[in-house]
Amino acid sequence: MRFLPTSIPDVIIIEPQVYSDSRGFFMEVFQAHKFAAAGLPSHFVQDNHSGSRRGILRGLHYQIQNPQGKLVRAVVGTIFDVAVDLRKSSPTFGKWVGVILSAENHLQLWIPVGFAHGFYVLSEWAEVHYKTTDFYNPQGERTLRWDDPQINIEWPLIDHQPPLLSEKDAQGKFLSEADLFD
């Protein structure tokens, strides 16, 4: 298992060692000792699994109360996964990282507390599994606009068409008006 830095040092790509043969493959996606040795959390309290069709964008979500670190992977299909730094005191405040996660590349993305998270589905269908460091708190949940020009995420939109959003996600706030972390 390798822990690879991104342009935002606290956001980490995890590349598992994949053992393949004619029967298929095996990989270890989490091991508490290895995560702890890499400075990442080794205790998660909730697992979530979602399925979405092509062109769906989920996010950018975060919780201001009960903030969550997230360990994200695509178990079916391909997504463009994004983390946005919402920590006012951070040198990378307002910056984003985007990574292609797929069932084929087996990569995971560690997104620490203090970040908004979202993903856009590139394949016909994708299933995303993620572990969280705290429990879901609907009263503390917030949504950041996916298309905030101040953040300027370079979404790989299919045929340059707008993504399909939930009503909640369509009403996300701009960074200039969002609840933030210190």
- Residue ranges of domains in the chain: 2-15+44-177
Catalytic residue, candidates 61, 129, 136, 160: 61
The class of domain 2-15+44-177 in CATH terms is: mainly beta
Q: Decide if 160 is catalytic.
A: no
State which residues of the chain have pLDDT below 70. Answer: none
Whole-angstrom distance, CA of residue 111 vs CA of residue 101: 13
Structure tokens at 53: 């069709």
| pLDDT at site 1 | 95
Coil/strand/helix, residue 125: strand
Determine the pLDDT at residue 48. Answer: 98
- Residues linked to residue 127 through DSSP beta bridges, in sequence order: 51, 76
pLDDT of residue 136: 97
CA separation (Å) from 64 to 31, 119, 141, 182? 28, 19, 6, 11
Q: Which helix (H) or strand (E) holds 168?
A: helix 167-170
Give residue 174's pLDDT.
98
Per-residue confidence (pLDDT) for residue 86, from 0 to 100: 98
Identify the active-site residue in 19, 33, 130, 136. 130
Residue 157, H or E segment: none
